[in-house]
Amino acid sequence: MPGNDELIQALSAALESAPGNVPVRKHLADLLMEAGRYTEAEREYRVALDYAPYDAPIKLRLAEAYYRQHKAQVAVMILEELMRGPNPAAQVFLLAASAYVESGAPDLAARAYQKAVALDPALADPTLEQQLPAVPPETPGDSPPRRRPEELVFVAVDDAGMTPVADIERPQVAFNDVGGMEKLKEDIRIKIIYPLTHPQLYKAYGKTAGGGILMYGPPGCGKTHIARATAGEVRANFMPIGLHDVLDMYIGQSERNLHKLFEQARRIAPCVLFFDEVDALGSSRTDLRHYSAMRHVINQFLSEMDGVDTSNEGVLILAATNAPWYVDTALRRPGRFDRVIFVPPPDAAAREAILRIMLAEKPAKAIDYHRLGQETKGFSGADLKGLVDSAIELKLQDAMRRGVPAPLVTQDLLAALKEARPTIKEWFATARNYALYSNEGGLYDDVLEFLKLPEGRSL
Ligand code: ATP
C-alpha cells in the first residue's frame, strides 16, 4: 500500500492526462483533506465542481475545506444553497451548525443541529451541542436556515391503501408571499376564503359556498403559487393535481381517479383542491372518437364539483390553465367555475414586490428594487425567479474563486438580466388571436384590455 503522499502524487499525475475524471479528483481532494492540506483540497474540489457543477457531496466537501481554513462565511453560503436544494444530507446540517457557530449565528446553528440529529441521530455531537443555545424545535412559521415553500405532509392513498392518489402539502406560504395580484387575492377571499371562515354570515344572506375559481394566463405568472398561498392563508391542506396525470386511457378509469381525488379532499378538509392543466378536460380538443369518453369524464368532474352525492364543505376548488380556449364550456356554468380570472404578467410594481419577496432571505445589500422592477418589463414571476437564481449562481462562483463571500447587489442582478429572456410573448401571440376572433361572452376582454396597456403593447 503506498503512503498517502505517494498516492496523492500518483493521483495528481493521473489527473494531468485526464483532468475531467471527477471521481479521481474527488479522491485526491479527500486525501488532501485527511492530510490537513485544506487549501490544496479546496482547489481540487473547485476544479471537480467545474466538471460536475451540481454534485452535492463535492459541494459539501468544498464547504468543509473552507470551514477548516476558518472561512466559515464562505462555507455557510455553500451550505445554505445545499440546504435549500432537494433532500439535503444530514451532514450538510451538521457542518452548517459548526459553520454558523463560527460565524456568530448561534440560533441558526442550533436549528441546523436539530435538523442534522433528526435526520441521523448517530450524528449527535455533545461537544458541539454544548456551544449551542436552547431553541424551541422548529415550528411551521419559522424562517431560515431552511425555509421550504411547502411541506409534504403525506401521500394520499386509495381506499385499499395501495395506490398513491395525490401529494398533500401543508403550505407555509400565504398571501404575503405573493407579490402584486391584489385583485385576484380579493376575489379569492370573497369567493373561496370567507365562505369557509364566515359560514354563518354567508348563510344569513342566503349564499352557499360552492363552485370555484378558474385562473388562466401565461405560464409562470403565479397561478400555482397563489393557489398554494390560499391554502397557507387559511391553514388548509393543499392537494395539487395535474389533470393530465389523472386522465387515463382506459374507459372508466379517469372517472374513478377523479372520484378518489375528491373523496380524499373531503376526508382531509379544510383543503384547497387545485387542478392544474384543466384544459385537459376539454372535449373541444379531442377528436370525435374520444368525444363521448371525454363527456363521461367531464360529467363525473361536474357531479363531484356539485357535490351531488356528498357535501364538499371545506373543500376549496381552484383551477388553472394556460389554454382556456380548450376548457369545456360546461365547466364555466354557475356553481362551477363561474369566476374565470385572467392572471396577467406582473406589472412594474408587482415585479418589484416579487423581487423583494424572493430576495428577502438572501444575503443582499442596498438593492434598487424600483429600478429592477422597471428594467424587467415582460418578465413573469418564474422568469424573475430564474433571474435571481442566476445572479446568485454567478455570485457564488465569484465567492468560491475569491474565497470571500459578498452580498448580492443591484449590479449582480443587472448583469444576470443581460443574459435573461422573458418567456411569455408566445402565449400572448396565441391569446391575442382567440381574444380577437373567438371572444364569446367577452371571456377574453381582460386580455384585450391588458394588450392595450403600455406594458402589454410592448410584449
Ligand atoms: P404554469 O402555468 O407554468 O403552471 P403558473 O402560473 O402556475 O405557471 P407558478 O408556478 O405559480 O406559475 O410560478 C412560478 C414561480 O414563480 C413560483 O414558484 C414563484 O416562485 C414565482 N412567482 C410567480 N408569481 C409570483 C408572485 N406573484 N409572487 C411571488 N412569486 C411568484
User: Could you give the percent of the chain with pLDDT greater than 90?
Assistant: 41
Q: What is the pLDDT of residue 287?
A: 52
How far apart are alpha carbons 52 and 403 in whole angstroms?
Answer: 19
Rounded to the nearest angstrom, the distance between the alpha carbon of 282 and the centre of ligand 1 is 24
Measured in Å, residue 225 CA sits from the centre of ligand 1 at: 5
- The pLDDT, as a whole number, for residue 388 is 95
pLDDT of residue 206: 64
H runs (alpha helix) in 120-241: 126-130, 182-188, 194-197, 199-204, 223-233
pLDDT for 159: 47
130 pLDDT more than 50: yes
Closest CA to 96 of 73, 120, 119, 124: 73
Q: What is the distance between the alpha carbons of residues 210 and 200, in angstroms, rounded to a whole number?
A: 15
Tell me the C-alpha distance between 147 and 287, whole Å: 46
- Give 155's strand partners: 167
The preferred substitution site among 183, 225, 276 for testing ligand 1, maximizing ligand atoms within 8 Å of CB, is 225
Spacing, Cα 337 to ligand 1 middle (Å): 21
Q: Cβ(84) to ligand 1 under 6 A?
A: no
Residue 292 has pLDDT above 80, yes or no: no
Residue 338, SS3? coil
Mean pLDDT calculated for residue range 149-169: 52
- Amino acid occupying residue 216: Y
Residue with cell 424600483: 370
In this structure, are residues 447 and 431 in contact, taking their beta carbons and an 8 Å threshold? yes
* pLDDT at position 150: 38
- Contact, 82 vs 115, CB < 8 A? no
> At 147, is the pLDDT very low, low, confident or very high (cuts 50, 70, 90)?
very low
The tens digit of pLDDT for each residue in 320-375 reads 999 998 888 888 887 788 888 999 999 999 999 999 999 988 888 889 999 999 99
Summarize pLDDT for 92-102 with one digit per residue, the tens.
999 999 999 98
CA distance 203 to 216: 30
pLDDT in tens, 72-128: 877 887 888 788 777 899 999 999 999 999 888 888 999 999 999 999 999 999 999
Q: Which pairing describes strands 152-157 and 164-169: parallel, antiparallel, or unpaired?
A: antiparallel
Short-list 94, 100, 91, 172, CA closest to 139: 172
Torsion angles phi and psi, residue 380, rounded to 5? -85, 170
Cell 483532468 belongs to: 19
Whether residue 223 has its Cβ less than 6 Å from ligand 1 = yes
Whether residue 351 has its Cβ less than 6 Å from ligand 1: no
Rounded CA separation 100/83 (Å): 13
Q: Specify whether the CB–CB gap between 459 and 378 falls below 8 A.
A: yes
Alpha-helical regions (H) of 18-89: 22-34, 38-51, 56-68, 72-84
Strands across the sheet with 237-242, in order?
152-157, 164-169, 237-242, 271-276, 315-321, 212-216, 339-342
Grid cell for residue 440:
364569446
> Which run of H or E residues covers position 335?
none
Residue nearest to atom 15 of ligand 1 (CA): 382
Point out the least confidently predicted range of 95-109, 159-173, 238-252.
159-173
Amino acid code (one letter) for 123? L
**From the CB of 385, is ligand 1 less than 6 Å away?**
yes
Q: Which helix (H) or strand (E) holds 155?
A: strand 152-157
Helices 72-84 and 381-402: angle between axes, nearest 10 degrees: 150
- Residue 215 in this model has a pLDDT that exceeds 70: yes
